């Protein structure tokens, strides 16, 4: 028998890319490819790139070059770029980076096996010429679902596949293959974005907003639960818009309780929420539904009105603080995180002071701060009133220091609270780590448990916060707690 073809997927960027990689893995395994963890052990290394900001693009190029080095002393015969950077630049990336044996766009995903086989056999698959993917679907959201089947939508793989297509497949198996054993998995709720933020290029290469069918989201969640997943995180470019192209802008409010009812799922988390689109009903569901954590990943970006208008966004400091007050009136211990851009064109010292006023009053659990840089193809790149790079760097350092202080203070406020921790790693030397309700994977800190006796990955543990380490918490498991007792009896 011929030796099996092997492939490794290297994923960079956000949780949406992780979902896309697992769909690619499902397609490849269904066509006979053997998936391996280490690129050095693979015939083909597929790098799922990020094309969001300059630093992410550099990381993607570095990863491609590192994989290319394996061709000199490893098994690797070909290196292929996929993902946002590959989609965004296409031929340009292929010409600038000849070390990549192939550059595949989203339209190639359905035929990923054939594409990789062609490249592995020494053939050439011409990289695509990038196009504005917003133009592939009707302008009216209500007309998009009928056209969606003709457009490549990574992470929207079908469910109800024939037996054998995915591991432990059955009537609920999605076109997806898990790449790790984590008790947490992301589920794509939608793709694309209809907002026109002046600094963001994502809609041009991810396309217009389109929702997945609730039944597909629910079936995939059931399948993930069967794989041992305890927490799902709903991801998209903008979850608050979910359902608008399905005729019901409040569809998320009805979907969340159904997801929480799936056997085996202990926690449902929603990410990527737009402050301007938050509505009372959604806040109510997020703060009162059992197993749906009161977690608010709100994309504020700034709080000074003039800067927000230049960003083509809405709101101001007082409105944002009112929104947070509303959330905490319903769930006092709710988790809130956000990202901010400093040094935006035209940002004055008074604008920066307004942002500081907001940060000091917001009591955020996690804060990401980025210095502005031009992104080609965006409106902001054409603005004339750019700040000098050294001023941007100075403001970035200043707000980053403030953010670090504030999230540490917020963590200290949680000392004495009882939290439910999902155990994610158990190591004899490193200790036992997990996350509480207010902490999303990768971005929001973690919890160190003071005792790991009898604990394993995937356990949900009730614990009391007894200390902090910056943004991280230190917590003591409560013996005899309902959560511990229930798990011990399994």
**CA 327 to centroid of chain Cα atoms:** 23
């594409």: which residue's tokens? 115
Give the DSSP letter string of 108-141.
Answer: GGGGHHHHHHHHHTT---PPPPP--GGGGS-SSG
CA torsion through residues 433, 435, 436, 439, sign: positive
| Binding site listing for [4Fe-4S] cluster | 14, 50, 84, 193, 197, 200
Cα 1–Cα 108–Cα 34 angle in degrees, nearest 5: 30
Cα separation, 353 vs 10, whole angstroms: 41
**Residue 331 CB neighbours (<10 A):** 18
Strands 231-235 and 184-188: parallel
Please classify residue 473 by burial: count the beta carbons closer than 10 Å to its beta carbon, then call 0-12 exposed, 13-18 middle and 19+ buried: buried
Q: In the chain, what are the helix, strand and coil shares in percent, each to the nearest 5?
A: 40, 20, 40
Strands 418-427 and 460-469: antiparallel
| Binding site listing | 14, 50, 84, 193, 197, 200
Please classify residue 150 by burial: count the beta carbons closer than 10 Å to its beta carbon, then call 0-12 exposed, 13-18 middle and 19+ buried: exposed
The CA-based diameter of the chain, rounded to the nearest angstrom, is 71
């Amino acid at each position: 028998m011929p030796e099996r073809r092997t492939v490794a997927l290297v994923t960079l960027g956000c949780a949406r890319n992780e979902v896309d990689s697992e769909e690619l893995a499902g397609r490849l395994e269904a066509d006979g490819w053997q998936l391996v963890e280490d690129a050095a052990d693979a015939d083909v290394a597929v790098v799922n790139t990020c094309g969001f900001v300059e630093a992410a693009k550099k990381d993607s190029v570095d990863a491609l070059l590192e994989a290319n080095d394996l061709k000199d002393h490893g098994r690797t015969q070909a290196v292929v770029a996929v993902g946002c950077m590959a989609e965004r630049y296409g031929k340009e990336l292929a010409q600038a980076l000849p070390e990549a044996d192939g550059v595949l766009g989203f339209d190639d995903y359905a035929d990923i096996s054939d594409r990789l086989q062609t490249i592995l056999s020494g053939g050439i698959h011409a990289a695509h010429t990038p196009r504005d993917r917003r133009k592939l679907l009707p302008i009216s959201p209500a007309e998009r679902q009928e056209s969606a089947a003709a457009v490549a939508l990574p992470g929207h793989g079908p469910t109800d596949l024939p037996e054998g297509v995915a591991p432990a497949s059955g009537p609920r198996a999605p076109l997806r293959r898990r790449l790790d054993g984590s008790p947490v998995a992301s589920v794509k709720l939608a793709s694309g974005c209809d907002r026109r933020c002046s600094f963001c290029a994502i809609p041009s290469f991810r396309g217009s907003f389109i929702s997945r069918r609730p039944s597909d989201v629910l079936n995939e969640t059931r399948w993930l639960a069967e794989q041992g997943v305890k927490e799902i995180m709903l991801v998209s470019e903008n979850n608050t818009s979910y359902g608008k192209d399905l005729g019901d802008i409040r569809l998320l409010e009805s979907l969340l309780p159904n997801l929480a009812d799936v056997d085996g799922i202990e926690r449902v988390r929603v990410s990527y929420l737009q402050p301007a689109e938050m509505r009372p009903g959604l806040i109510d569901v997020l703060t009162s539904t059992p197993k749906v954590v009161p977690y608010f990943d709100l994309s504020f970006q700034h709080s000074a009105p003039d800067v927000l208008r230049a960003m083509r966004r809405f709101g101001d400091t007082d409105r944002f603080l009112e929104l947070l007050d509303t959330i905490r009136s319903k769930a006092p211990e709710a988790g809130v995180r956000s990202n901010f851009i400093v040094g935006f064109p035209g940002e004055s010292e008074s604008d920066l002071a307004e942002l500081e006023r907001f940060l000091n009053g917001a009591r955020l659990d996690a804060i990401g701060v980025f210095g502005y840089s031009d992104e080609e193809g965006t409106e902001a790149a054409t603005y004339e009133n750019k700040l000098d790079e050294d001023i941007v760097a100075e403001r970035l350092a200043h707000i980053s220091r403030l953010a670090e202080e504030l999230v540490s203070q917020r963590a200290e406020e949680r000392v004495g609270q009882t939290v439910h921790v999902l155990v994610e790693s158990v190591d004899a030397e490193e200790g036992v780590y997990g996350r509480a309700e207010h902490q999303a994977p990768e971005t929001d800190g973690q919890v160190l448990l003071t005792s790991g006796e009898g604990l394993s990955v995937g356990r949900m543990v009730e614990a009391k916060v007894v200390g902090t380490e910056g943004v991280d918490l230190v917590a003591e498991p409560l013996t005899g707690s309902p959560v511990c007792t229930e798990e011990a009896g399994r």
